Amino acid sequence: MASLAPPAPAPAASFAPRWLFTLGIFTGSFLLFLVQPMLARMALPRLGGAPAVWNSAMLVYQGLLLAGYAYAHFLGRFGTRIQVGVHLAVLLLAGLTLPLSLAAGSPPSSAEPFLWVPWLLLISVGPLFFAISAQAPLLQRWLAVGGLNPYPLYVASNLGSFCGLVAYPLLLEPMVGVAENSLWWSWGYGIMLLLVAGCGLPLLRKDHAPPARSDAPRVRASTFIRWALIAAVPSGLMLSTTLHLTTDVAPMPLLWVVPLGLYLLSFTIAFSERRRAANICTAAAPFALILAAAMLFVMSGAMLPLVVLTAILAMFLSACALHARLYDQRPEPQNLTLFYLAMSVGGVIGGLICALFAPLLFDWTYEHPLLILAAAFLLGARQPLPAIADLMRGERAGRVLLLLILIMLIGSFLAAMMGKYAVLALLSSVAAGMATFALGRAWLFVLALATVMLAGGGLKQLHDSLTGQMTRSYFGVYRVSDDYVGQRMLIHGTTTHGVQLLGTPERERTPTSYYWQGSGVGRVMSQLPAIAGPNARVGVVGVGLGTLGCYSRPGQSWTLFEIDPTVIDIARGPGFHFLRDCLPTARVVIGDARLKLGETAPASFDILVIDAFSSDAIPMHLLTKEAFAIYKRVLRPGGVLMIHISNRHLELRPVVRTGGESVGMAGVLASAAGEPLLRGYESTWTALSSDPATLARVRATEPGLWVNLPLGRRVHWTDDHASILPVVAKPW
């Protein structure tokens, strides 16, 4: 890196104190990470939860952030008076769009989300997001004019982002609704504007011209690309770790906050003027990657807490190490905004890879091991253990190690072909040890980690991909699996969405798992003619395998609502028969169920079943007061609303009871053990109706099964105010 000799300090009267710059940057970043989840909560009831919506939103946020950094870089061409005047004007103009709210209007049913959603978000939050995203690099540039080192202020920026990230789900969302949060955010924006003015107005006393282009150190295109690529790896690794953990390993409430929060904190370590913590993280990161590679394909059992901890630790230490490398390569303050622009480009690249391209290219979360290998390549060129570095010095040592790793790799393929899983585990462990000796040779370290992954479960994963047992959509990864007792399962992440028995036609049409005849929904559907008449109109939200369809009878009409077209393709594919044999003429509606039900005519159904799982979670916007009002509207007077609330982490009974009461519906609860043939599918179903006689008929299906929804605390979820914290039953 070129010398960072600062310019001669200007008179102190021309500059605000450093603490004011720090506070201004902290406040702006805090607000920036509050606005994204707030706007998501505002948009969810109107736009639904389809991936096309949130992928479009992600592109808008990334694009606005990149535009803000580009604007800050462009503004740096002018003197400080112009910079301050223009930026304060931009902040004031953006403030005219306050209070923060979603623009009026709803998308027409024929609208393309990739066009409608960006437009809606741009006119709703675009000016504010753009103005705030530019201020961190601008304020650092203004501080650098005074001869001070601006880069440690990036610590304040990311600390503010972290605090904003944690504050919304843990403090603001549980306390007050979206509308009140929006007002608080508007006051925060006003405070931030005053802080920026306090930093900038002293610079109006004397104009500080930017250095002449001939005097400013020139940044080569290759350097810009290198910065962007280094920044892309931790950005992508953070996203891939989040997806891997929340779908494939442990879909725990709020787990997504942890990788993102640690990713932000990694900047505070990497950009600190005190380098001890950054150096420790850099030395430890390769070993964390080895552990993460060894644990990558462990997805069940008592080791899950260790798997989660290892994955998060590897992501955090790698992010610290890679961001520390960026800090070590930072340019002179004259090119500060270009440096941050390159980092922003890298963040966009990482986001696009994980959010848009990977679901199209892969049928499993293969981007996660690939990003681990990318981090290993960037961090594997240095051996942090001097004793091993001395031992492995010389070309002969490298060739011997390469030969041994190749032997391990070939042995892994042979062991996988023979089904020797104990041998594979041993080879993975040996390869992990070899990876330690491979440090100092980046490509050799990558090869060793790849061997660890392949022997530790990667070869089986590849086999499942090649044999068509996995399918991926923007909602996650679906796996079709057969077991030795003659059953075929559809698994989404760690949640089984349906089980079909194999064998005779009678077995294949037998309702199973959460829907067997002894479950709450099984009892009701078995006796639906007695409850709703012989020509019942049935609506089902969440298709799964279509298991409930095997309760259908002649004269009934069924409508299935499913947000993910991939699920319908699987359920109608050659491997499963529920839809084909039991509901060949059912009407299937693709899209967010709440939006589609909102378009449905009143009194369209005699029974409506809500079974919308996303791995192990129910979408929050399907359990708000407004959602219950939609359900009641589409049910005939006295119809039955059934909601599946089986969940390993959330206690949803208070939410359902309160939501039902809000629209004049009472409810009963059935908690049933799994069927004897297929153990482990205990289910909890609620049935609600505005007609006591209908509920009495539901109870009569099996008197000992149904009980009143328990009294006690009430949890009110509305579109304006909802939080999962009051219903978290057990975090693990």
| Residue range 257-285, pLDDT digits in tens | 888 889 989 999 999 888 999 999 999 99
- The answer to whether the CB of 234 falls within 8 A of the CB of 350 is yes
Q: What does the pLDDT read at residue 243?
A: 81
Confidence check: pLDDT of 655 > 60: yes
Residue 251 confidence (pLDDT) above 60: no
Q: Choose the weakest-confidence range: 42-56, 218-232, 423-437, 582-596.
A: 42-56
**CATH assignment, 11-210:** 1.20.1250
Higher pLDDT, 301 or 85: 85
**Which conformational region is residue 457 in: left (phi greater than 0), alpha (psi within -120 to 50 degrees), or beta?**
left
**SS3 for 256?**
coil
For residue 466, pLDDT over 90 is answered with no
Token reading at 142: 């203004």
Residue 477: pLDDT above 50?
A: yes
The model's confidence at residue 664, banded by pLDDT at 50, 70 and 90, is: very high
The pLDDT value recorded for residue 155 is: 87
* CA–CA gap between residue 666 and residue 659 (Å, rounded): 10
pTM of the model: 0.84
- Please tell me the predicted confidence (pLDDT) of residue 558: 95
When pLDDT is averaged across residues 568-585 and rounded to a whole number, the result is: 86
For residue 501, name the pLDDT band (cuts at 50, 70, 90).
Answer: confident
Q: Which residue has the higher pLDDT, 91 or 154?
A: 91
- The whole-number average pLDDT for the span 296-306 is 76
Domain ranges of the chain: 11-210, 235-335+355-379, 395-466, 506-727
Give pLDDT, residue 230: 96
Above pLDDT 70, what percent of the chain? 90
Measure Cα distances from 524 to 444, 547, 631, 656, 676 in Å: 61, 14, 18, 18, 19
pLDDT confidence band for 212 (50 / 70 / 90): low
Question: What are the φ/ψ torsions at residue 380 (nearest 5 degrees)?
Answer: -90, 5
Work out the mean pLDDT of the chain and round it to a whole number.
Answer: 85
The predicted structure's pLDDT at residue 115: 67
Write down the pLDDT at residue 371.
Answer: 96
Q: What is the pLDDT of residue 8?
A: 43
As a whole number, mean pLDDT of residues 142-147 equals 82
Strands (E) in 430-556, as ranges, are: 470-473, 476-482, 487-492, 495-501, 537-541
- First-residue to last-residue Cα distance in the chain: 46
For 96-201, where are the alpha helices, taking DSSP H only?
113-145, 153-167, 173-175, 178-200
More confident residue, 36 or 339: 339
Q: Is the pLDDT of residue 680 over 80?
A: no
Query: Do 653 and 709 contact (CB within 8 A), yes or no?
Result: yes
82-91, 374-383, 716-725: range with lowest mean pLDDT: 716-725
pLDDT of residue 443: 94
Rg (CA), the chain: 29
The beta-carbon contacts of 599-603 under 8 Å, at least 24 apart in sequence, are 599/109, 600/634, 601/634, 602/633, 602/634, 603/633, 603/634, 603/635, 603/636, 603/637, 603/639
Looking at residue 377, its pLDDT comes to 96
Q: Place domain 506-727 in its CATH homologous superfamily.
A: Vaccinia Virus protein VP39 (3.40.50.150)
Calculate mean pLDDT across residues 706-710: 87
Among the residue ranges 102-106, 328-332, 368-372, 677-681, the one predicted with the least confidence is: 677-681
- pLDDT given for residue 494 in this prediction: 65
